[in-house]
Amino acid sequence: MEILGKSVKTPPINVSPLENRHIVTLEEEIARCWFETGRCYTYGFFQAATLLASIVVELCIECYLRSKGLWDEYEEVDEKSRTFGSLIAFASERKGRGPYLTPTILNKCKELNRRRIEAAHMNRRRSIVLTIPSSTSRLNDIDEIENVSQPSTEKPGEKEAYLMLNEIAILYDPVKEEFYKVRPFKKFAREAIELTVEITKLICELG
């Protein structure tokens, strides 16, 4: 809008001369949470990025339900029981009425919610044993395990890896003399971000 030189007007709000208020809108919170999702992913906070991505979808669903006059019905749910899962259940088909969101959207929301629950509670990850992936084994579906070895610049025929001093998420293969870096929740975060993009696009297409 700055490039086009366009602006919009908003209703005046009566405040005292010494008070400066700002009304936080759903659209603003969606944009802020999405920005923070990107920042967390960029700087390696993948667990937080997974959680924030689900918040973006929650807010988008709320925005859609409000636009259809359905949010008041959901507000009858006890506030302590309002979770992403309960919001998905509310938008699903119930006795006496059809679903508020399409089956495709609901299924993608459930996929995202599974990643959110794992990021929040670590039910699986805190019990797994990380191993070096072989050519036949599947990489861990939560983390990213990357071979960070490279030819040594000082000792021909040997390998080296640049690691942080306090790096703890490292696997070493003594046979091949290769180092692997584990990035917890990176795969989940990437999948959560992709699901968020797909879900929000589909919600907007509902009109």
How far is C-alpha 125 from the chain's CA centre? 17
Rounded to whole angstroms, the Cα distance separating 33 from 53 reads 8
Q: Is there a contact between 130 and 143 (Cβ–Cβ < 8 Å)? A: yes
**For range 122-145, the mean pLDDT:** 81
Give percent of the chain above pLDDT 70. 87
Q: Please count the other Cβ atoms lying within 10 Å of the Cβ belonging to residue 180.
A: 19
In three-state secondary structure terms, 75 is: coil
Domains and CATH numbers, the chain: 26-123+187-205 (1.20.120)
- Tokens 């949470």 correspond to 33
Rounded to whole angstroms, the Cα distance separating 20 from 42 reads 33
**For range 12-39, the mean pLDDT:** 81
Please say if the pLDDT value at position 48 is more than 80: yes
Please say if the pLDDT value at position 28 is more than 70: yes
Phi, psi of 184 (to 5 degrees): -55, 130
pLDDT score of 5: 64
Q: What tokens were used for 36? A: 């923070």
pTM, 2 dp: 0.80
Q: Is there a contact between 114 and 50 (Cβ–Cβ < 8 Å)? A: no
Rounded to whole angstroms, the Cα distance separating 204 from 182 reads 36
pLDDT score of 1: 45
Rounded to whole angstroms, the Cα distance separating 144 from 41 reads 13
pLDDT score of 10: 55
- At 79, the pLDDT band (50, 70, 90 cuts) reads confident
**For range 52-81, the mean pLDDT:** 90
